[in-house]
Chain A
């Protein structure tokens, strides 16, 4: 249970980080908060030759409004995001999700960028990012490129970040006044990874849903949208009956992540129940 030896790089600036990444390519891993990477290193599931510790890099730790987006620097720790008034006021779904994210000691150290770069399908933030159509800024010595959340996650623990690149910023759209949000999950212990997640964002015109984003997590290799549930809501007056119909429509998502916490039938049932709860929460009946 001790990590294999590695060489340590400790860049102070984004430029030095880019140089280190360009130099070491796929023999390097980035160490942010270490709450997912270090356990894997302790198990020797991951044995990087070079570890690039970015905890000293200036300019990756911030939360700020930038046009119609709330921009969060990748090295912003969970505790900072969870306690941020700017986050609560502008992207309330993140605040709702943080009621379920990790335990206090893990939140002290873990970072939002590290969490998303890890790409764990049972984690809350990837589902939230897809639900809100967040944009991911991926940087390297070549410059920046922007990727939509739905295209950032490529598979279980796989993202669109290539060797030589790093996730530098996540941009969440600021909530509109007519948007309503909901989040719920089931986990064995509060703060643990979820067995199943449902999160929703509804754009309303009065009682009618103009557009809906319904996202599942924890049940497949990647979180993703539930098109049938979204279709069941779009253009409809969202009532208890419509909530039940949309929740039922999640049956089209076949759970493929099965383990001792739950088989496909159980996870399917959870997803239906959680979707109903998230929707009820969104329309203020939860």
Chain B
């Protein structure tokens, strides 16, 4: 444990040291125990791709991968993640080299305002990692914990479905 003097509040704030790997980069940071993973990613590391929607685990916008499984980053403290491997939407692709999922969301109109998209993409990635050829029903089940207020979901389902087949094609060919 470490102490950081905080002039405004008077007493020193307790922090804990964490070593994490985020998108392949190793970081060592001292964090307040109450710092949420979502705020750690956005404010400490500047990875603002992870969106903060409801902050109580309902909307799924802040979903990221921890050690290969999605978590709601607003429901996990950074202080719990010593030695964890974290992947955010920034790990998927770049503007000129989109991940097949990102490309499919673009082509199938899987987003409008884009707020839910990072969470949708990470949840879809988890699904395809475990089940490379999902049915539409399996896709519906997988994204049932992610809210979208623009698309009506059908285009998101089509995007994930088409990305799965695109990715399979690439693997098979």
Contacts and interface: CB of A to CB of B under 8 A. Distances in A.
Partners in one complex: yes
Interface residues of A, number: 30
Given A5-B34, A6-B33, A34 B144 contact: no
Interface in B53-73: 55-57, 60, 63, 69-72
A53 interface: yes
B34 A3 contact: yes
Interface in B1-31: 13-14, 16
Contacts of A39: 56-57, 75
From DSSP, what is the main secondary structure of chain B's interface residues?
A: mixed
Interface string B75-99: 1110110000000000000000000
A252 interface: no
A5 B75 contact: no
Residue among A39, A104, A189 having the largest count of chain B Cβ atoms under 10 Å: A104
A103 B70 CA distance: 11
Contact of A104 (B13, B74, B80, B142): B142
A42 B56 contact: yes
B126 interface: yes
A53 B80 CA distance: 8
Nearest to B33: A8
A35 B75 contact: yes
B69 A79 contact: yes
B162 to A, nearest CB: 21
B56 A1 contact: yes
B34 A2 contact: yes
B144 A55 contact: no
Contacts, number: 83
A105 interface: yes
Contact of A105 (B32, B39, B77, B123): B123
Contact of A35 (B32, B57, B127): B57
B75 A104 contact: no
A108 B84 CA distance: 15
Contacts of B141: 104, 190
B145 A105 contact: yes
B167 interface: no
B47 interface: no
A102 B142 CA distance: 11
A43 interface: yes
Contacts of A8: 14, 16, 33, 79
B76 A5 contact: no
Nearest to B119: A105
A109 B144 contact: no
A89 interface: no
A176 interface: no
A51 interface: yes
Nearest to B122: A105
A6 B33 CA distance: 7
A2 B57 contact: no
A55 B75 CA distance: 14
Given A4-B34, A6-B33, A104-B123, A109 B39 contact: no
B76 A108 contact: no
A189 B60 CA distance: 14
Contact of A42 (B55, B69, B71, B123): B55
A7 interface: yes
Contact of A38 (B16, B75, B144): B75
A231 interface: no
Contacts of A108: 69-71
Interface of B: 13-14, 16, 32-34, 36, 39, 55-57, 60, 63, 69-72, 74-77, 79-80, 123, 126-127, 141-142, 144-145
Closest 3 CB pairs of A and B: A103-B145, A8-B33, A39-B56
Given A5-B34, A34-B76, 20 more contacts: A2-B39, A4-B34, A6-B34, A8-B33, A31-B77, A34-B75, A35-B75, A38-B74, A42-B74, A51-B33, A79-B69, A103-B145, A104-B123, A104-B142, A105-B63, A105-B71, A105-B72, A105-B145, A109-B76, A191-B144
